[in-house]
Amino acid sequence: MKVAVDAMGGDFAPRAIVSGAISAARTTKNRIEIVLVGDEEKINHELSLHFRIQDLPISVKHASQQIEMHESPVTALKKKRDSSIWVAMDLHKKGEVDAVVSAGNTGAVLGAALLKLRKLDGVIRPAIGTILPKGKGVSFLIDSGTNVDCKPQHLLQFGIMGTVFIKKMLNVKNPRVGLLNIGEEKSKGNELVQSSYELFQSGPVNFIGNVEGRSILGEEVDVVVCDGFVGNIILKFAESINAVYTTNLRRRIGKRLQYQFGAYLMRPAFRRLKKTFDYAEYGGVPLLGVNGVVIIGHGGSSSKAICNAIFEAEKITKENVNEEIEKELSQLKIKKGLINRAKFRIRK
């Protein structure tokens, strides 16, 4: 398969992006062809810093423009039709690549994907899903930033897409789906969540009811569904946990000899714990619901994160995640009344 990688997207582009692409190409042993999209001169310069890459399946597609992280996605996509993000999506639309990986401006990636690739059949709104590590295994949070304002039918589709993703990618046989709320009781929450609860009960997912924030990293739920406003706040908070705990641990250890000795003995455990909560281990987040495979990396993605994002794109493609989403949504279409009966207000 072939993956287009936005070489100009991210805080450490193009160096970290090119390095990650090389690592992926070396690891997969010609299983994945990689197209680096962006400023050809800069990309070739970065490639020249690496040894023994002549035989690697890496090519360069020139794009004369770059969308910066601070730019307005709407304005940038209108004015920069030769940006690395736009060109990468165009390659995907034409069938020249099977997936796109970008750590660039998230809004621009979303916009370009929707404009170029469109939506899968039956999808009302695409959504970003995020893997969150927990004590045993992971939770899948969806939506984590795409749709700030949602309706019940949107949340139901998020639950379906999340179920398909975690089944295919993590081999969870019957994922438990929970609706994020301020309490477990059916009567709690705002109008959106209460209306969605009724819809989920009749939906084609293994719905376990409402779950509270403390359950996100608990053992009782696999897919946590919420709107993008709430989801993005949770995601940003989760990103801070690793740094906060690491900083506090170092401060507590300080210069006390016995603490330093204990920390030395615990180093292997600390490394494993840090690895568990390191976003680079998971590569990027999938944009589910678009007619293509798009992985969005963290703006601060390292070469390791880019490498893993490429692997994730390969697995999503090979596991036919999009085809399965369309299949599940087509079954929902047969039960059209389920969506049509969704009332935004259920309180008398």
* pLDDT band, residue 337 (cuts 50/70/90): low
> What is the rounded average pLDDT of the residues 286-296?
97
Rounded distance, CA 302 to CA 310, Å?
A: 13
What backbone phi and psi angles, to 5 degrees, belong to 316?
A: -60, -40
Question: 98 near 315, Cβ under 8 Å?
Answer: no
| Crossing angle (nearest 10°) for helices 191-202 and 152-170 | 60
> What is the rounded average pLDDT of the residues 157-167?
97
What is the reported pLDDT for 331? Answer: 83
* pLDDT band, residue 274 (cuts 50/70/90): confident
Question: 325 near 133, Cβ under 8 Å?
Answer: no
CB atoms within 10 A of CB 216: 18
Which pLDDT tens digit goes with each residue over 185-210? 988 989 999 999 989 998 899 999 99
**256 vs 185, 248, 252, CA distance in Å?**
48, 15, 9
What is the reported pLDDT for 334? Answer: 52
What is the reported pLDDT for 236? Answer: 87
Rounded distance, CA 340 to CA 156, Å?
A: 13
What is the reported pLDDT for 230? Answer: 95
Q: Where are the beta strands (DSSP E) in 42-161?
A: 58-62, 99-102, 127-133, 138-142
All structural domains of the chain? 1-117 (3.40.718.10), 127-281+320-348 (3.40.718.10)
Rounded distance, CA 102 to CA 112, Å?
A: 11
